[in-house]
A and B are shown apart, each in its own frame.
Chain A
Amino acid sequence: MSDWVNRLDLTRLSTPLFGRVSVALVLLMALHLTANMPLERLGQGISVGTVSAAGLLPAWLYGDVRLLALLWVAFVVCGALWMGDWMVPLSSWGATLAFTGYVSVYLQNAPFWDHKCHLLNLVMFVQCAWYHIYAQEIRAARREGRLLTTPLYPQWAYVASVFAICCHYFFAGLSKLIEGGGLRWADGLTFQLWILARGDGDTWLGSMVLAHRSLSQVFQITALGFELLVPLALFWPRFRVAVGLFFIGFHLSSHQIFPDVVFTANLVVVCLFFVMEPALAWWAARQARMETESVVSPEG
């Protein structure tokens, strides 16, 4: 077990270029999502349960849309401060809690399903924890103008984000097995009927799937397989890139067939942590190798 944990290299510190880029992209994505949420149907329908901490509040409080406005302003202000590394970790906590609160209140009032913000929010929590634990060092490096050259980004922050992504997709696969009757879920007909009922069967891909059950079944088996195998990506970086590229294709093709179901935030998060970070790490390793080679053979 400890060998597996050691492979994750949790204690390594890197310069925070990737960390800061990922914070900026996650905050911008969150801003995009909150600015484009359909608010007109909130509060309609019949109340049946609790899906967020907001549901633990009195109904008169979480049902008041002014609370959403307040949380959104708090998120924008704190997010802007966090992006500039000002007032950390207060700003990072403010932005993370305001965003979490906003989506919690929104989901508690929405008479429809929505799972577009969950993964982004979990990654934001990891980034917030990084800024909280390293606040002193980040503030000092910023004061001295060496923020981008000081090793301040802990590998555990990257690994925890990858872990959250793995959990999200693995549970998506697991729920298909539990709710969908095991492997019978991947029967091809299910995907065809989802397209007829919810998607656009007139698209090139949609019409192909509707005409060929075997093709539909291949899509379902492939999606289920990658979802169930995604935990392996935590330990094998090459597999992580392969899974990342698969999920990017998966979300893009889903968007073509189901235009109303856009998981842009998941797409951004997967791009960042499954493709961009490994690419940057590969590039950095290559640079280091070239520098070493030039030192060993200076004449060459």
Chain B
Amino acid sequence: MSSSPTRGLRLSERVFLGLFVAANILVPLLLIEFYPFTIAPMYDTRLREVTLYAVRGPSGQPLPARDFGLDIANLGADGTATSPFHRHRARIPFDSVNIVGQPPLAPQALARRVKQQLASMSIPWVIITRTTLGAVDAERAGVVKVEEMRVERTP
């Protein structure tokens, strides 16, 4: 690692450094995400509660919560930042009402959502179990609430 005496920067070095510094600062701030630039939203969502859904059919068989739009679609380690220019993500795995960082649906809205999905299925009714994770006490986190709801298909 021996060094040479000081010299001036070449024009090409100046141009590269100028562009590199500007892009590293401006692109994440303006566009949030434009590879390889990013505002690095890993774990940036502040969580108060996380809601998990389980769905069972009439014979007790488990059904995918994803088919009812209840699985968490943004359960990545990354946050949910958006910019004025575009959504943060190129694709979402499926349409969902269970968004980490947002309050859970009210029971009536949840029933409406499930009824919509049931309309295109041959299942007469389902049992939805909603488990809420949150602060158990001043120190611990865990399951704070478990609710069950029966939703029937509208004839």
Contact = CB atoms under 8 A, between A and B. Distances in A.
Contacts of A46: 91-95
B89 interface: yes
Given A14-B1, A180-B45, A133 B13 contact: yes
Nearest to A176: B44
A110 interface: yes
B146 interface: no
A258 B88 CA distance: 22
Interface bin, chain B: 35 or more
Contacts of B44: 172, 175-176, 178-180, 185
Contact of B139 (A163, A180, A213): A213
Interface string A88-111: 000000000000100110011111
A13 B90 contact: no
B121 interface: no
Nearest to B2: A15
A163 B24 contact: yes
Contacts, number: 224
Given A15-B1, A122-B36, A151-B3, A50 B93 contact: no
B12 interface: yes
A37 interface: no
B4 A12 contact: yes
Interface string B139-153: 111100000000000
A17 to B, nearest CB: 7
14 contacts: A11-B6, A13-B4, A44-B93, A45-B94, A103-B36, A117-B35, A122-B24, A160-B16, A160-B17, A169-B40, A190-B45, A193-B47, A210-B142, A213-B141
